[in-house]
Structure 1
């Protein structure tokens, strides 16, 4: 293996705090991280997409992306159907070889394994991870009437060598694509063979901040404003707007500030109205009916009418942007112009004020938005108050730490993992976050779940995330059997129940800080923490609870069994 690829692997192992499993396995992780990071615009769990562990049918990585979300469970697909009333699906599959050669037999094995993965009558033996992902895939195709288009599929075959467009290998690839086309399952099939140079480029690209260049002709420069370096207001054609919300391959970017709310789908009055306007023959009237989109960037570099915007977020217009994006293939969409405000500032307080002042969208009330926005920013600051081994990074905006090489990526806590950890550990709802994460988000949007309340102390949020981080670190080091990963949020709940020294206080009580300090004291000592987690696992093994049963994991009655059993369980 060449020196550059070796150094990239070393950096990945450090930043992800992953224990080396040998050159071949480490290379698989590098490939999966680099490829999928460029195809999926949110932070993800590398373990979720890495499946090469024997009986992998020649496939090392699989990512299933539905409506812009990386899917873990069948229930998440159902949630998206309810939420959006459509499915837009992309499959990404990888095969990695540390050999410097491109082997026709290995490519054939890969393509045969891909065909078998999508077969209704598979012939190859599958490991547990592959079986789970195939079940999700089958569930997606069973909901084909909801497809906006047939799924796209991208295949990546990666070695440490140099791809030289060998005619024989290209013939093998063409033949393989034809067999996939005969299944009539896919809208578009793309096969890429990559060498070490292309892989290193893909890895470096994962560190870049989001930026784009648009043609902004119809604009007015706003007067000088304290704290704002540049500001413009105007109209841009739909084709230019797409450059802001999607990448060069048309994949939707995650550039929406405070994305707790995310896209609410077309199934509400506001978004449905936007969709109706865009679908009409006179859709050019959109520009006078819609309030438009507000974009805040760290910097704007104008050259004539060409504007390069860097490190930007859409702070108002998430719903509008998603509906516009979803209509990108409508035949008359290019008649539409979009009103935009383009603002450059590095002042977080000004960003917050802009977000609150410009946002008037449903289904969230402005007072809820104010609370969520301020809470998220303050929680991020609370995380930043910790140093040393207790330092974690709260990723309020997707991939906001990508360009910071000093940040260990394993210590980044994403918004979904914050919600899952808190709900599992402190709300006793591990059954919901394991399989029904969409339910938690819907309840949050409706104000029916006790999370991100402005009266809450920040300590339980950080503590739940730190517990999650420590447990994951033990999985990565091989100190805890990874078979327990599927019940990790149950373990978080049991850790609190078994090792807290008192009854859980209200989340707005000063007693909560001390309550959390007692738990953090255990977590600060690896030996004590490992022993504590093993006690939690003993409860799971001895209670009326089967971690291998998918129903047990997501049933509230089984969670109650764990809670009742743990009450009488001696931890010493």
Structure 2
């Protein structure tokens, strides 16, 4: 293996705090991380997308992306169907080989394995890791009437060699494409060979801040404002707008993290109305009917009419942007012109004021997942107050630490995992977040669950995240059997209950600090942490709870069984 590829592997293992499993498995992780990071613009669990050894049918990594979400469960797919009315799906398959050449035999095995993956009568044996993805794919095709288009399917064959367009390999790729297209399951099929140079390019891109260059000729400059380096108002045609919200592969970028509301789907009157305007023959009227979008960037670099925007977010216009993106293939989209407001500032307070001001037409519940809120910003600062082994990074905006090589990536806690760990550990709701958190989000939006309240003290949020991080480390080191990973949020709940006998104080009470500090004292000691979590595993084994049963893990009655066992 060349020195550059090895250095990427070393860095990935260090930043993810992963133990080396040998050259082949380490290279698989590098390939999976690099490819999927370029197809999916949010933080993801590398362990989930990596297929285990044996009976993998020649597939080393998989991701299934539905409406821009890397799905992990059937329930998540159902949530997205309910929310949006329709779904768009991208399948990504990866095979990686440390060989310095591209093998026709390996490529054939890979393509055959993918064909078997989608077969209604599979001939190859499947391990548990692969089967979980097959179940998701089968559920998607059972809901075929809800598909906006047939899914796309991309196969990446990755080696440490140099791709030179070999005639035999190209013939196999073309034949494989034809075979997969003949199934009529896909809108687009791509088989993409990556050598060491291409893989290096993919890996380096994972570290880049989001940036794009657009032609912005139809604009006016806003006069100088204190705290804002530059600002413009104007109109851009759709072919320039699409560069802001999607990458070169037309994948939707994650540039809506500072927006008050997530995309609400097209199953509502407002978004349905936007879609109707875009798709009818008079779509050019869009610019006078729509308020447009507001973009806040850290930096704007204009050269004539060419504007390069760096580290930016769409703080208002999430709904409009998503509807525009979803209708990118409509014949009338080329006539659409979009009003935009482009602002450059590095002042967080100004960013928040802009976001709140541009979203004030809609009542917002404080329980909604809004990364712009003062609570979220303060929670991020609270995380930053810890040092050494207790240092974690709260990722308020997706991939905000990607370009910082000093950050250990395994210590990053995303908003979804903050919700999952807190709800599991402190709200006794592990059944709701084990494989999906759609139901938790709905309860948050309805105000039925206490989380991210402005009067809450931050320490229980950090404590749950730190416990999650420490437990993940035990799995990575092989000190706790990986079969317990399915119930990790149940283990967090048990850890609290077994190690803190006192009644839990309210989250806005000063007493919660002493309560959590007792737990943090245990988590700060490696030996005590391992002993405590092994005791939790013993409760899982001895109670009326089957961790291998997918339904047991999701049932509130089974969580109650664990609580009843503890009370006895």
Where do residues 112-127 of structure 1 align in structure 2 (5 Å cutoff)? Answer: 112-127=112-127
Matched, 1:76 2:76: yes
Where do residues 342-421 of structure 1 align in structure 2 (5 Å cutoff)? Answer: 342-360=342-360, 364-365=364-365, 373-421=373-421
Counterpart residue number, 2:160 = 160
Deviation at 1:367, TM superposition (A): 9.5
Matched, 1:30 2:30: yes
Which string of whole-angstrom CA distances, capped at 9 and with x for unpartnered residues, describes residues 371-410 of structure 1?
A: 9611111111111111111111111111111100000110
Deviation at 1:273, TM superposition (A): 2.3
Where do residues 225-304 of structure 1 align in structure 2 (5 Å cutoff)? Answer: 225-258=225-258, 261-304=261-304
Separation of aligned partners in 2, 1:472 and 1:127: 22
Where do residues 475-494 of structure 1 align in structure 2 (5 Å cutoff)? Answer: 475-494=475-494
Deviation at 1:170, TM superposition (A): 0.8
Separation of aligned partners in 2, 1:206 and 1:509: 41
Q: Taking structure 1 as reference, are residues 312 and 330 closer, same or farther at Cα in structure 2, changes over 3 Å only?
A: same
Unaligned runs of 5+ in 2: none
Counterpart residue number, 2:97 = 97
Q: TM (normalized to structure 2)?
A: 0.98
Unaligned runs of 5+ in 1: none
Instruction: Indicate conservation of the 8 Å contact 2:209/2:402, yes or no.
Output: yes
Counterpart residue number, 1:469 = 469
Separation of aligned partners in 2, 1:160 and 1:321: 39
Which deviates more from structure 2 when the two are superposed, residues 285-294 or residues 412-421? 285-294
Which string of whole-angstrom CA distances, capped at 9 and with x for unpartnered residues, describes residues 272-325 of structure 1?
A: 222222233222222222221111101000011110000001111111111111
Counterpart residue number, 1:181 = 181
Separation of aligned partners in 2, 1:216 and 1:164: 39
Separation of aligned partners in 2, 1:367 and 1:483: 34
Counterpart residue number, 1:42 = 42
Deviation at 1:449, TM superposition (A): 2.0
What is the DSSP-based 3-state SS (H/G/I as helix, E as strand, rest coil) of the residue aligned with 1:271? helix
Deviation at 1:21, TM superposition (A): 0.6
Instruction: Indicate conservation of the 8 Å contact 1:294/1:317, yes or no.
Output: yes
Separation of aligned partners in 2, 1:465 and 1:121: 43
- Number of residue pairs the alignment of both structures matches: 568
Separation of aligned partners in 1, 2:154 and 2:367: 43
Which string of whole-angstrom CA distances, capped at 9 and with x for unpartnered residues, describes residues 234-274 of structure 1?
A: 11111111110011111100001336742111122322222
Instruction: Indicate conservation of the 8 Å contact 1:259/1:397, yes or no.
Output: no
Instruction: Indicate conservation of the 8 Å contact 1:211/1:310, yes or no.
Output: yes
Q: Taking structure 1 as reference, are residues 209 and 223 closer, same or farther at Cα in structure 2, changes over 3 Å only?
A: same
Which string of whole-angstrom CA distances, capped at 9 and with x for unpartnered residues, describes residues 139-189 of structure 1?
A: 001101011110001101111111111001111111112211121111100
Instruction: Indicate conservation of the 8 Å contact 1:356/1:369, yes or no.
Output: no
What is the DSSP-based 3-state SS (H/G/I as helix, E as strand, rest coil) of the residue aligned with 1:435? coil
Which deviates more from structure 2 when the two are superposed, residues 198-207 or residues 439-448? 439-448
Separation of aligned partners in 1, 2:165 and 2:369: 53
Instruction: Indicate conservation of the 8 Å contact 1:216/1:235, yes or no.
Output: yes
Deviation at 1:220, TM superposition (A): 1.1
Separation of aligned partners in 1, 2:487 and 2:210: 35
Instruction: Indicate conservation of the 8 Å contact 1:287/1:336, yes or no.
Output: yes
Q: Taking structure 1 as reference, are residues 451 and 161 closer, same or farther at Cα in structure 2, changes over 3 Å only?
A: same
Q: Taking structure 1 as reference, are residues 479 and 508 closer, same or farther at Cα in structure 2, changes over 3 Å only?
A: same
Deviation at 1:460, TM superposition (A): 1.0
Deviation at 1:60, TM superposition (A): 0.2
Instruction: Indicate conservation of the 8 Å contact 1:92/1:154, yes or no.
Output: yes
Q: Taking structure 1 as reference, are residues 480 and 365 closer, same or farther at Cα in structure 2, changes over 3 Å only?
A: closer
Q: TM (normalized to structure 1)?
A: 0.97
Separation of aligned partners in 2, 1:320 and 1:254: 15
CA RMSD after TM alignment: 1.5
